[in-house]
Amino acid sequence: MCDTTSPPEPTVILDLLEAFRWSKTMFAAVGLGVFDALAGGGKSAATLATELRVNADALERLLGACVVLQLLRKNGDQFENTPAANAYLTQSSPARLTGYINYSNTTMWKLWANLEDAIREGTHRWKQTFGWDRPIFANLFSDEHKGREFLLGMHGFGLISSPHVVTAFDLSRFRCLCDLGGATGHLAIAACRRCPELNAIVFDLPEAMPLAHKVIGASTVAKRIKLVPGDFFVDALPQADLFALGRIVHDWSEAKIHKLLSRIYQRLPSGGGVLIAEKILLDDKTGPRWAQMQNLNMLTCTEGKERTLAEYEVILSDIGFIDVQGCRTPSPLDAILAIKP
């Protein structure tokens, strides 16, 4: 007897089979300088190949793939950046994500190659992949240029996410925001723009200060933002009635998170708050996709993970916080606000 049952549609499998090629195409084009070379206008494949010192035939294949991925357009024999490529994939753009893209290519790509072992052992892959015993951020800032580019990449993410985070809740009751691990100050800038009566402090490692000074100094709210260098696990925290943690909590173990949040709780006045910016997992941990992928990324790269709102409630309530609220946003980060009674 013949089996007349049709197999299920394979599209989802075929798309996933090819998905890593999409990412690597963008990574390679950024790394080779394709989008920077086209920032001033269109060029032919032959001209680009000479300028970038690459094989002409191979480059034409890469350019064609970038057209299909909507990163480039082709007019006649001229290749041009799309608006998205100009905004996010060129070194000259203030909104660029190139630092994080290059980090994804040179570092995360290799860590993810050992995902199976991360699943087996439940630990990050720095030692296996690179032979490094140092913590993640010591590696990031061991090279001044790479550290700066990573911060600029995170700044690009911040320009996308921070305006959503600071509008998730009414922050007008607070007078001083201290953004711990605040990097370039994108969240502090967004909060001060949102709340005219708010002052802010950006607290981060000394290595982050020069770039933060430059970015904040160019903003319209620079006079209301102060920079303080320090390690939030060790050094005295500044005085503030609202502490922010953007893409910080998901980096660390439960013990370190408890230590950090306890330090914040002790420093806050009664009625003060903590604003956490992370992507929140669904209660049953089946989504959303960005949070799920970031959860695996934290496994390969850090000591931490992503969490559900209920899990944040347990951690924060354990320390003494009350009125824990969560707000999902359309950006790469959601927001959680908790209050000290």
Return the half-sphere exposure (C-beta side, CA atoms, 13 A cut-off) of residue 92. Answer: 10
| 3-state class (DSSP) for residue 14 | helix
Q: Which of 145, 213, 250, 258 does the annotation list as catalytic? A: 250
Distance, in Å, from the CA atom of 63 to the CA atom of 115, rounded to the nearest integer, reads 30
Q: Is 250 a catalytic residue?
A: yes
Nearest C-alpha neighbor of 259 from the set 232, 278, 286, 239:
232
Distance, in Å, from the CA atom of 257 to the CA atom of 318, rounded to the nearest integer, reads 12
Q: Which residue blocks in the chain are alpha helix, DSSP H?
A: 11-32, 34-37, 45-52, 56-68, 83-88, 98-103, 109-112, 115-121, 126-130, 136-140, 144-166, 186-194, 209-217, 254-267, 289-301, 309-319
- CA-atom Rg of the chain in angstroms: 22
Distance, in Å, from the CA atom of 114 to the CA atom of 121, rounded to the nearest integer, reads 11
Contact between residue 309 and residue 335 where contact means Cβ atoms under 8 Å apart: no
Contact between residue 336 and residue 324 where contact means Cβ atoms under 8 Å apart: yes
Cα distances (Å, whole numbers) of residue 333 to 154, 242, 319: 12, 18, 23
User: Any idea which residues carry the catalytic annotation?
Assistant: 250
